Amino acid sequence: MSGLARKLRTADYFSLGWGTMVGVGWLVVMDDWLLRGGPLGAILGFLIGGLLLLPIGYVYGQLVAAIPDAAGEIAYTSRVFPEGVAFATGWTMLLAYFIVCPWEAVAIGRIAAYLVPATDSLELYRIGGRPVYLPHLVLGCLATALLTALNHRGIRLSANIQNWTAFLTIGLVGIFVLAGLLGGSPRNLQPPFGEKGALVSIFLVLQIVPYFMTGFESVSKVAEEASPTLRPGGYFRAILMAILGGTLFYTVVIGAVAFSAPWKALTGVPFMTAAALERAAASRWVVNVVLMAAFLSLFKVFNGNLVAASRLLFALGRRGLVAGRFGAVHPRNQTPSTAVLWIGAATVLCTLLGQAVLIPISEVGSVASALGWTMACAAYLAMRPRAIPTLIGAVGAALGISMVLMKVLPMVPGHFSPYEWCALGVWSGAGLVLRRRGATKEAP
Residues 143-191: tens digit of each pLDDT: 999 999 988 888 888 888 888 988 998 999 899 889 888 888 999 989 9
| 8-state DSSP, 218 | G
Q: Is the pLDDT of residue 230 over 90?
A: no
Mean pLDDT of 240-254: 94
402-414: pLDDT as tens digits: 888 887 888 777 6
Residues 208/261/200/29 CA torsion (nearest 10 deg): -20
pLDDT-based confidence at residue 419 (cuts at 50, 70, 90): confident
Provide the total of helices (H) and of strands (E) in the chain, helices listed first.
Answer: 19, 2
pLDDT higher at 285 or 357? 285
Pairwise pLDDT comparison (67 vs 24), residue with the higher score? 67
Question: For position 438, what pLDDT does the model report?
Answer: 58
Q: How many Cβ atoms from other residues are within 10 Å of residue 36's Cβ?
A: 26
- Is the pLDDT score of 439 beyond 80? no
Residue 3 CB neighbour total at 10 angstroms = 12
User: How high is the mean pLDDT of the chain?
Assistant: 86
Average pLDDT value for residue range 53-76: 91
Task: Kindly state the percentage of the chain with pLDDT values over 90.
Answer: 30
Using pLDDT thresholds of 50, 70 and 90, give the confidence band for residue 427. Answer: confident
pLDDT over threshold 80, residue 358: no
**What would the mean pLDDT of 373-386 be, rounded to a whole number?**
90
Assess whether pLDDT exceeds 80 at residue 10.
Answer: yes
- Residue 387 pLDDT more than 80? yes
Helices within 187-232 (DSSP H only): 198-206, 209-213
How wide is the angle at C-alpha 370 spanned by C-alphas 83 and 106, nearest 5°? Answer: 105
Express each pLDDT in 91-149 by its tens digit.
Answer: 999 988 898 888 888 888 888 887 788 888 888 888 877 888 899 899 999 999 999 99
- Check pLDDT > 90 for residue 246: yes
- Peptide bond between residue 131 and the one before it cis (omega within 30 degrees of 0): no
Nearest-angstrom CA–CA distance, 331 and 333: 6
pLDDT at 443 over 50: no
Residue 124: helix, strand or coil by DSSP? strand
The 10s digit of each residue's pLDDT in 259-282 is 998 888 888 787 888 888 888 888
**Per-residue pLDDT band at 320 (split at 50, 70, 90):** confident
Percent of the chain at pLDDT > 70 equals: 95
Q: pLDDT tens, 182-227?
A: 888 999 989 989 888 889 999 889 888 887 888 899 888 888 888 8
How confident is the model at residue 180, as a pLDDT? 87
Which class is 10-438 in CATH? mainly alpha
Residue 347 pLDDT more than 50?
yes
Distance CA 246, CA 213 (A): 7
More confident residue, 359 or 430: 430
Q: Is the pLDDT of residue 44 over 90?
A: yes
Interval 1-22 mean pLDDT: 82
Confidence class for position 436, pLDDT limits 50, 70, 90? low
Write the single-letter amino acid at 6: R
The angle at the Cα of 427, spanning 422 to 430, to the nearest 5 degrees, equals: 125
Question: pLDDT value at position 46?
Answer: 95
Q: How confident is the model at residue 89 (pLDDT cuts 50, 70, 90)?
A: very high
Residue 360 has pLDDT above 80, yes or no: no
